[in-house]
């Protein structure tokens, strides 16, 4: 099963739409009936019921629904059908809902209502392709990991204006892994050039510059790199951008709770290892290219350097 096969139409993508407004479902049917095998549910419970019977490649869910919220549904779906890509389609979500969808739902995309048919089609096409490209083996990965020789343990890069943060993170993580600090994007790229970094912990802005394009570019060129956002300036728009364009793995809000932070970073390191060993998974974490490179010329040079980074895993530049 490859993307090419899908494009040729040999295998139709299976998409499940969940919304409590039947007219939305009608619209989806009209929109995608020629392209995919469609399933519909008007709530979380029927959706899960349906998932148990029919494997699907993509789940598109509304957030606000009676009985079960979209996040709850997607979290349950992650257990039930880990291979299905998760997309949240919602009119308005408060920050907690978005952070929940990132940390618990591990969603692929966040789509706002009202949506553009073209963008939604594109997103669905990517999701289906990713699902097909990386049909996740249910559990054998664990066994496979055990057999693999442990590669050099990856370090953690902390990008924040506050110089006290890297030592703090090092203290939280203990001596298991090395923590590097960077107080600017430039410094961060320098560290990435020198050190083997597996996880990037970053604030949403470093020295007044948004990190989203850096993280997005990193993800494009080093898909095995995992990003975690650690910030006190949490806002919904930035979080949506970070998930759609940067595929951030976790979103943590300050103040730091040591234990939660430790668990999340360890989980990110595991994710990095998984991605490093299974390149076929990369497409599952593919990012949307931002409409225009938002960084100024200095930033563009920075991104050039990022593109030139040598992958520690594949060894290619």
Partner 1 sequence: MKLRWLLPAMLAGVAIGVLLFLARMTQSADSKLHLERLANLRAINNLDVQLNRVLTQARVATLMAEGDERVRITRQLGDALDAIDKGPQSLHGLDPALDLATNRFLDTIQDKFELDFDIEARTTVLNQRLVNSANSVPGQVAALVAAATPEVRDNVGDLGEQLKTQIVTFSVTPSPSNQKDVEMLLDRLAGQPAAFKDALQRLHAGCADVIVDKDELVDRLRDFLDRPTGPQLQAVEQAYSAWYAGQQAIVARYRLALAVYAASLLLVLGWLGLRLRGSYRALDRANADLLRANSTLEAQVETRTHDLSAALRDLRDSQAQLVQSEKMASLGQLVAGVAHEINTPLGYARSNAEIVRDSLGRLGELCAAQDRALRLLTAPDSSDEAVAAALAQAEARRGSDDPAELMADLHSLLQDADHGLNQIAELVSSLKDFSRVDRSRTDLFDLNDGIDSALKICQNQLKHRVEVVKQYGTLPQIECSPSQLNQVFLNLFTNAAQAIEGNGRIYVHTLAADGGVAVRVLDTGCGMSEDVRSRVFEPFFTTKPVGKGTGLGLSIVYRIVAEHGGRIEVRSSPGKGSEFALWLPARQARAAPAEPTVEAALTAVAA
* CA–CA dist 191, 102 (Å, integer): 27
Out of 1, 2, 10, 26, the residue judged to bind partner 1 by CB under 8 A: 26
Q: Is 31 in the site for partner 1 (CB under 8 A)?
A: yes
Stretch that binds partner 1, among 16-24, 77-85, 221-229, 278-286 (CB under 8 A): 16-24
Minimum separation from the CB atom of position 64 to partner 1 (A): 6
For residue 196, state whether it binds partner 1 (rule: CB under 8 A).
no
Question: Judged by CB under 8 A, how many residues of this single chain contact partner 1?
Answer: 22
How many Cα atoms are found within 13 Å in the side-chain-facing hemisphere of 8?
6
Does residue number 11 form part of the binding site for partner 1 (CB under 8 A)? no
Please say which residue, 72 or 106, places its beta carbon nearer to partner 1: 72
Select the residue interacting with partner 1 from 1, 10, 30, 263 (CB under 8 A): 30
Site map 45..84 versus partner 1, x via CB under 8 A? -----------------x-xxxx-----------------
Q: How far apart are CA 8 and CA 89, in angstroms?
A: 28
Sheet with 179-182, strands from edge to edge, namely 179-182, 155-159, 197-202, 226-231, 250-253
For residue 25, the tally of other CB atoms under 10 A from its CB is 18
Shortest Å distance, C-beta 2 to partner 1: 29
Nearer to partner 1, 113 or 148 (CB): 113
Task: Specify the residue, 67 or 237, whose C-beta has the smaller distance to partner 1.
Answer: 67
Q: How far is the CB of 209 from partner 1 (least distance, A)?
A: 27
How far, in Å, CA of 129 to CA of 312, rounded? 26
Question: Considering the rule CB under 8 A, would residue 9 count as an interface residue with partner 1?
Answer: no
Strand 14-18 with 109-112, pairing:
unpaired
Q: Which of 91, 167, 237, 279 binds partner 1 (CB under 8 A)?
A: 91
Q: Does 108 participate in binding partner 1 (rule CB under 8 A)? A: no
Cα separation, 270 vs 142, in Å, equals 11
CA atoms of 155 and 191, how far apart (whole Å):
10
> 3-class SS at 277?
helix
Least distance from partner 1 to the Cβ atom of residue 115, Å: 6
Query: Is 96 a binder of partner 1 (CB under 8 A)?
Result: no
**Min. distance of Cβ 242 from partner 1 in angstroms?**
21
> Judged by CB, which is closer to partner 1: 23, or 164?
23
Return the residue of 94, 119, 161, 304 that touches partner 1, per CB under 8 A.
Answer: 94
CB-side neighbour CA atoms (13 Å) of 22: 0
Contact between 232 and partner 1 per CB under 8 A:
no
Output b/e per residue, 120-145; b: 16+ Cβ within 10 A.
beebbbbbbbbbbbbebeeeeeeeee
Three-state SS at 301 = helix
**Residue 21 is a binding residue for partner 1 (CB under 8 A):** yes
Nearer to partner 1, 119 or 304 (CB): 119
| 71 in Cβ contact with 212 (< 8 Å) | no
Q: Where are the beta strands (DSSP E) in the chain?
A: 14-18, 37-41, 58-61, 85-90, 109-112, 155-159, 179-182, 197-202, 205-206, 209-210, 226-231, 250-253
**Interface with partner 1 (CB under 8 A):** 20-21, 23-24, 26-27, 30-31, 62, 64-67, 90-92, 94, 112-115, 117
């Amino acid at each position: 099963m490859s993307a090419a096969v899908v494009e040729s139409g040999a295998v139709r993508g299976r998409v499940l739409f969940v919304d409590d407004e039947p007219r939305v479902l009608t619209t989806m049917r009209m929109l995608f009936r020629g392209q995919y095998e469609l399933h519909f549910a008007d709530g979380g419970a029927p959706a899960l019921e349906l998932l148990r019977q029919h494997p699907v490649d993509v789940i598109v869910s509304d957030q606000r629904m009676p009985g079960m919220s979209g996040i709850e549904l997607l979290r349950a779906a992650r257990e039930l059908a880990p291979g299905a890509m998760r997309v949240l389609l919602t009119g308005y979500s408060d920050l907690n809902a978005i952070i929940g969808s990132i940390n618990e739902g591990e969603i692929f995309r966040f789509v706002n209502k009202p949506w553009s048919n073209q963008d939604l089609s594109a997103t669905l096409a990517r999701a289906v392709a990713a699902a097909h490209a990386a049909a996740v083996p249910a559990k054998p990965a664990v066994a496979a990991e055990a057999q693999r020789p442990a590669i050099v343990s990856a370090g953690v890069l902390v990008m924040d204006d506050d110089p006290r943060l890297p030592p703090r993170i090092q203290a939280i993580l203990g001596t298991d892994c090395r923590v590097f600090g960077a107080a600017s994007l430039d410094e961060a790229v320098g560290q990435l050039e020198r050190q083997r970094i597996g996880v990037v912990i970053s604030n949403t802005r470093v020295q007044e510059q948004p990190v989203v394009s850096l993280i997005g570019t990193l993800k494009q060129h080093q898909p095995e790199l995992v990003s975690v956002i650690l910030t006190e300036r949490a806002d919904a728009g930035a979080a949506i951008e970070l998930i759609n364009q940067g595929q951030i793995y976790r979103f943590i809000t300050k103040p730091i709770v040591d234990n939660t932070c430790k668990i999340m970073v360890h989980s990110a390191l595991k994710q990095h290892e998984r991605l490093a060993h299974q390149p076929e998974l990369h497409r599952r974490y593919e990012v949307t290219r931002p409409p225009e490179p938002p960084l100024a010329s200095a930033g563009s040079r920075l991104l050039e350097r990022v593109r030139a980074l040598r992958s520690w895993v594949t060894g290619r530049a």
